[in-house]
C-alpha cells in the first residue's frame, strides 16, 4: 500500500491538479490572512469563512475533474481495470486528493490559529471531495462542475441562515453547525460521508464493465 501511495504522490508532482491547488492556496494566503489580521473582528472572521466556503465546491469539483482527466491523459484506465489492487490504487488517489484539498483550503485557518474553523472547513472539504470524485465515475466533467455551482448557491443560502434545520442537503451541514451547534448535524454528516465513499467504491467497481 505504501508503494502505491508513494507512486501516486510522484505522479501528482507537476500535475494540473497540484498547480491548481497551489494557486488557490496562495490566493487565500495573500487575501484572507491579511484581511482577518487587519480587522481582528469575530463577525468579520465568520463572514470571511463563509465566503471561502462558497468557493469550496468549485475547487473540489475542479480537483476531482483534474484527477480523473489526468488518468485519461496517461491512458492508464485499461491498466486500472485489469489491476488486481485497483481499490487500493484508487483509494490512494482519493487519500492524496483529500490531503491536497485539505492542505489547500484549511491551511489559512490553521495559520490564523482558528482550530474550530479549520475543523469545520476540514469536514466540508472532505465531504465535497468524496462527492465529486464519486461523481466523476458517473457523469461528465461539465455536470460535475455545474453541481459545484449549485452547491455554491446552497452554501450562500445557508450562510444567511435560510436553511437551518434542513438535513437533506449534505453540503450545508458544516455551515449550519457554525450557527447552530447540534450533534445531529455531525451524525448526519457521518452518514453522508459514508454514502459518498460508497459511491466512490461503486464507481471503481464499474470500471470492470
Tens of pLDDT along 17-64?
788 888 888 988 888 888 888 877 766 777 888 888 889 999 899 888
Torsion of CA 6, 72, 171, 87, to 10 degrees: -50
Burial of 208 (0-12, 13-18, 19+ CB in 10 A): exposed
Neighbours of 120 (CB within 10 A): 20
> What is the grid cell recorded at 158?
445557508
Q: In the chain, which stretches have pLDDT less than 70? A: 1-12, 14, 42-43, 71-86, 207-209
Given this model, what pLDDT does residue 94 score?
81
Q: How many domains does the chain have?
A: 1
The per-residue pLDDT for 95 is: 83
For residue 84, which phi and psi values (nearest 5 degrees)? -65, -20
Cα 62 → chain centroid = 10
- Domain of 27, in residue numbers: 2-206
How much is the pLDDT for 3? 62
Q: What is the pLDDT of residue 20?
A: 82
In a 10 Å sphere around its CB, with 0-12 CB exposed, 13-18 middle and 19+ buried, how is residue 144 labelled? buried
pLDDT at 89: 73
pLDDT value at position 4?
A: 60
CB burial of 1-31 (b: ≥16 within 10 Å; e: otherwise) equals eeebbeebeebbeebebbebbeebbeebeee
User: What is the chain's percent helix, strand, coil content, to nearest 5?
Assistant: 80, 0, 20
Amino acid at each position: 500500500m505504501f508503494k502505491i501511495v508513494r507512486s501516486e504522490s510522484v505522479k501528482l508532482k507537476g500535475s494540473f491538479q497540484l498547480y491548481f491547488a497551489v494557486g488557490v492556496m496562495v490566493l487565500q494566503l495573500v487575501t484572507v490572512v491579511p484581511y482577518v489580521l487587519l480587522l481582528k473582528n469575530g463577525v468579520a472572521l465568520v463572514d470571511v469563512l463563509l465566503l471561502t466556503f462558497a468557493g469550496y465546491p468549485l475547487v473540489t469539483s475542479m480537483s476531482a475533474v483534474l484527477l480523473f482527466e489526468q488518468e485519461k491523459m496517461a491512458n492508464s484506465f485499461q491498466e486500472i481495470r485489469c489491476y488486481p489492487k485497483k481499490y487500493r490504487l484508487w483509494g490512494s488517489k482519493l487519500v492524496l486528493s483529500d490531503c491536497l484539498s485539505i492542505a489547500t483550503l484549511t491551511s489559512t485557518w490553521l495559520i490564523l490559529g482558528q482550530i474550530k474553523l479549520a475543523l469545520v472547513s476540514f469536514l466540508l472539504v472532505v465531504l465535497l471531495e468524496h462527492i465529486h470524485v464519486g461523481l466523476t465515475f458517473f457523469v461528465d466533467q461539465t455536470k460535475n462542475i455545474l453541481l459545484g455551482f449549485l452547491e455554491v448557491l446552497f452554501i450562500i443560502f445557508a450562510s444567511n441562515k435560510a436553511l437551518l434545520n434542513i438535513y437533506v442537503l449534505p453540503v450545508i451541514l458544516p455551515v449550519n453547525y457554525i450557527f447552530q451547534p447540534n450533534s445531529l448535524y455531525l451524525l448526519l454528516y457521518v452518514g453522508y460521508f459514508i454514502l459518498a465513499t460508497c459511491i466512490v467504491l461503486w464507481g471503481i467497481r464499474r470500471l470492470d464493465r
